[in-house]
Amino acid sequence: MAQTLLRKSVAALARTREIPTPELRPLDAVVAELQPHEPVHALRPATLARTAAHFVAGFPGETLYAVKCNADPRTLRALWDGGVRGFDCASPAEIALVRSMFGRAATIAYMHPVRARAAIREAYGRYAVRRFVLDSVAEFDKIREETAAKPGTLDLIVRIAPPVVAGADKPLHDLSGKFGASAADAVALLRLVRPFARTLGISFHVGSQNADPQAFARAIAHADALAREAGVAVEVLDVGGGFPVAYPGQEVPPIDAFFAAIKQAHAACQTLANAALWAEPGRALVAAGGSVVVQVQARRGNTLYINDGVYGALADAGVPGLRYPTRLLRASAADTVAYDFYGPTCDSADHMKGPFVLPGDVCEGDWIELGQLGAYGAVLRTGFNGFERAHLIEVEG
């Protein structure tokens, strides 16, 4: 049931062939046995549970996992084992998946600011969702009309555009252009929504893979100023997602530095100091819990042609240019060199410039593991050129 819902909730998920792993083994041993000629997605449940537990314990509020980041049922189960009980969903299919696995024990927030009317009806009527985000009067009207909910029965979160500060570190993906009410619109929305809401909140998103803890602090101060100007009671401050993880070549503060900045900024609020904190982490919870094993199909100089690429699990290694930690799955005494990769499709845009550091004797037939791919790996796979197939395994470590 959950696997069927997963495939419906994430249309780009690969047609994976699950390898039964009743007793978890090291990745190298599984690859040696499989000798795979297709990509292998390796999931590490213990790592996921441990990372989730650290976030839940450190964040001073409620943790809502962003399901879009990795909707695999085993990933969700591992996060549940780590203490996650809340889920940020963006579609009825994601909502259905969470409900099918955890029932009413899971808290679900429908945090996509623009939804189809039918999606609102389904979330409210079929799956008992009572938390909705909005960033416009039109969306507020849709929520009221399609739920027909009585005043005081919904938790409504007004999403604002975070402040833009010159010279601030840029996130990997700036999300402020698509969603988020302007300052003036946000104040008006807060006043409009307040009489209808059971719980009124403010949310923002500082951008994916934001390595600046002060970005959260600035956004909190901005939200506090808007709440003060609106002059209405606000019970929730949702700091969104964007919490980063470390990739090669990037300097990222530890997650506890973000928690400290959020705590300090929240305590300094004049209006929102007593508001409950929410967060919507995705990448920070699941990146380290997954990797992808690829096989080298050809070598031309220091360019490796591999069997996965930007139309598969390595989308962020393309135009965004993320570098992943890499290792060769065999012993080598050769000095390391920098490689770039081409994926398996016939499109020359299927290029990952890296650099990816590996031993200098990599050759055709070798297997390479790329780490930090538990986030936005399998869910971004496409069927372009017919290269959608992959193995999916659970491993220890």
Q: Among residues of the chain, what percentage have pLDDT more than 90?
A: 86
Confidence band, pLDDT 50/70/90 cuts, at residue 320: confident
- List pLDDT tens digits, range 65-83: 999 999 999 999 999 999 9
Burial of 111 (0-12, 13-18, 19+ CB in 10 A): buried
CATH code assigned to 45-286: 3.20.20.10
For residues 366 and 388, the answer to whether their CB atoms sit within 8 Å is no
State pLDDT tens for residues 257-269.
999 999 999 999 9
d(CA 185, CA 246): 36
Find out whether 287 and 43 touch, Cβ atoms under 8 Å.
no
Report the alpha-carbon distance of residue 95 to residue 220 in Å, rounded: 28
189 with 140: CB under 8 angstroms?
A: yes
pLDDT in tens, 332-367: 999 999 999 999 999 999 999 999 999 999 999 999
Instruction: Name the percent of the chain lying above pLDDT 70.
Output: 91
Q: Is the pLDDT score of 207 beyond 50?
A: yes
Q: Which residues pair with 88 in a beta bridge?
A: 66, 109
Tell me: the pLDDT tens digits for 141-158?
A: 999 999 999 999 999 999
| Superfamily for domain range 2-43+287-394 | Lyase, Ornithine Decarboxylase; Chain A, domain 1 (2.40.37.10)
Question: pLDDT by residue (tens digit) across 270-318?
Answer: 999 999 999 999 999 999 999 999 999 999 999 999 999 999 999 999 9
390-394 vs 16-18, strand pairing mode: parallel
Q: Which residues on adjacent β-strands are paired with residue 327? A: 369
Residues in the chain: 397
87 backbone φψ class: left, alpha, beta (φ>0; ψ -120 to 50)? beta
Tens digit of pLDDT for each residue in 4-22? 434 433 343 344 555 555 5
Q: What is the dihedral of CA 173, 184, 132, 5, to 10 degrees?
A: -30
Q: Give the type of residue at 288.
A: A
Residue 169 has pLDDT above 60, yes or no: no
Would you kindly state where each structural domain of the chain is located, as residue ranges?
Answer: 2-43+287-394, 45-286
What pTM, to 2 d.p., does this model score?
A: 0.91
Distance between CA atoms of residues 113 and 129, nearest Å = 15
For residue 42, the cross-strand partners are: 291, 393
